[in-house]
Amino acid sequence: MTPTRKTRGMTEHLEVIDDPRTGKNIRHTLKDIVLLSVCGVIAGNESWDEIEEYGIWKEQWLKKFLELPNGVPSHDTLRRVFTRIKPEQLEIMFREWTKELYLNHKDPEQKSLIAIDGKTLRRSHDRYHNQSAAHLVSAWLSDHSLVLGQVKTDEKSNEITAIPELLEALEIQDSVITIDAMGCQSTIATLIKKKNADYILAVKDNQKQIHEQLKWFFDDIQLPSDVDTGLVNHETTFTKDHGRIERRDYLISSEIDWMAKELEGFPDVKSIGMSRCRRTVGNKTSVEKRYYITSLDPDCELFMKAVRSHWGIENKVHWVLDMVFREDESRMRTGHLATNMSVLRRIAMNVVRRDATSKKSLKLRRKIAFMRDDYLEQLLFSPDPIT
């Protein structure tokens, strides 16, 4: 697709970040500090000491787009600045930069699929200062493999308040938003519709009456007879791998008038759905069922695609952050370090995934970005994904 918007570089978006330093003895620009750190994390560095050494090694190349009037900032300087940068401002920069990557290549004829989910930075807690681990709620654009943004909360239970804050900050029109049961709230559904998007919300016992009615309805469905009568639409997938066989059934129905009372408060509910996974490993078989309400028409193919892509945020974001970027091992906790470094990791993950045709692992791409300056330069500054 030919880009229809002019893309601004990451540098132009840094203007939203206030420099936390005061006084005359400022030897390094904020732009140099942030972009050096972004490059360092992309190239596989996980501490401020490593980023400093990376900067010293790559100083001549970095001077192509950084000023570095007094050489490379020390690890103490990097750490001190990121301790004090307001995470909200760094997150705004991240969202605005990512938004341009997304909108510049969005297909106007297709609904985007955006998954919302939370992740705890497990080692960011500090018992001595009575500081709990930071919990982040992120938005994942599955069809472009981009993290669109994140919002920090102090506790997992605060996702209910963080999700609306994140949705307000994103451009989600003409998208389908998928959220797990924590976000199955009428206020969240109302906000999504207000922003001209659709929702698929998982339902569990936090919406007890709806959950019970959905279980009663779908557990009574007979296949294929109820498909033939038009009561439900149905799709099935089969996978077989390493001795494990999985059959996944997806059912969606627009027959919802009978539960109007339970759905009261949720705007524009058009369908109810269920996913059922029957997994066989050896002689053992397990069945897992999940239930949903949605503002979509009963398009089972779209429902199936959205439900399956939702779990990409676990496999392609949370797992990658822990296994490739070692996020769960990080013990950064002073000031805003944990949250700000989490933003840098997500920027780095988005940048590395701009190599759209590479079959190499993200870990190997980071190593290549360290070894080849031209490759990292393409990833950072090309207006289009590398193809």
Dump pLDDT digits (tens) for 17-53: 999 998 888 999 999 999 999 999 999 999 999 999 9
Same domain, 18 and 144: yes
Three state DSSP letters for the chain: CCCCCCCCCHHHHHHHCCCCCCCCCCCCCHHHHHHHHHHHHHCCCCCHHHHHHHHHHCHHHHCCCCCCECECCCHHHHHHHHHHCCHHHHHHHHHHHHHHHHHCCCCCCCCEEEEEEEEECHHHCECCCCECCCEEEEEEECCCCEEEEEEEECCHHHHHHHHHHHHHHCCCCCEEEEECHHHCCHHHHHHHHHCCCEEEEEECHHHHHHHHHHHHHHHCCCCCHHHHCCCCEEEEEEEEECCEEEEEEEEEECCCHHHCCCCCCCCCCCEEEEEEEEEEECCEEEEEEEEEEECCCCCHHHHHHHHHHHCHHHHHHHHHHHHCCCHHHCCCCCCCHHHHHHHHHHHHHHHHCCECCCCCCHHHHHHHHHHCHHHHHHHHHCCCCEC
Task: Examine residue 2 and state whether it is found in any structural domain, yes or no.
Answer: no
Same domain, 295 and 228: yes
Last residue of one domain, picked from the residues 283, 310, 337 = 310
Task: Examine residue 257 and state whether it is found in any structural domain, yes or no.
Answer: yes
Same domain, 303 and 226: yes
The tens digit of pLDDT for each residue in 87-121 reads: 999 999 999 988 887 766 667 778 899 999 988 77
Same domain, 150 and 239: no
Same domain, 262 and 325: no
pLDDT of residue 71: 96
What global pTM score does this model have?
0.89
Q: Do 61 and 376 meet the contact criterion of CB atoms below 8 Å apart? A: no
Task: Examine residue 208 and state whether it is found in any structural domain, yes or no.
Answer: yes
Structural domain for 144, as ranges: 10-160+317-381
Same domain, 184 and 300: yes
How many structural domains comprise the chain? 2
Last residue of one domain, picked from the residues 295, 310, 325 = 310
pLDDT of residue 188: 97
Same domain, 324 and 286: no
Same domain, 45 and 135: yes
The segments of the chain whose pLDDT lies below 70 read 1-9, 103-106, 122-134, 154-157, 333, 383-387
Same domain, 230 and 341: no
pLDDT of residue 199: 98
Task: Examine residue 3 and state whether it is found in any structural domain, yes or no.
Answer: no
Task: Examine residue 263 and state whether it is found in any structural domain, yes or no.
Answer: yes
The tens digit of pLDDT for each residue in 295-324 reads: 999 999 999 999 999 988 989 998 998 899
Last residue of one domain, picked from the residues 262, 292, 310 = 310
pLDDT of residue 90: 94
Same domain, 155 and 14: yes
Same domain, 306 and 323: no
Same domain, 146 and 179: no
Task: Examine residue 85 and state whether it is found in any structural domain, yes or no.
Answer: yes
pLDDT of residue 105: 65
Task: Examine residue 306 and state whether it is found in any structural domain, yes or no.
Answer: yes
Task: Examine residue 110 and state whether it is found in any structural domain, yes or no.
Answer: yes
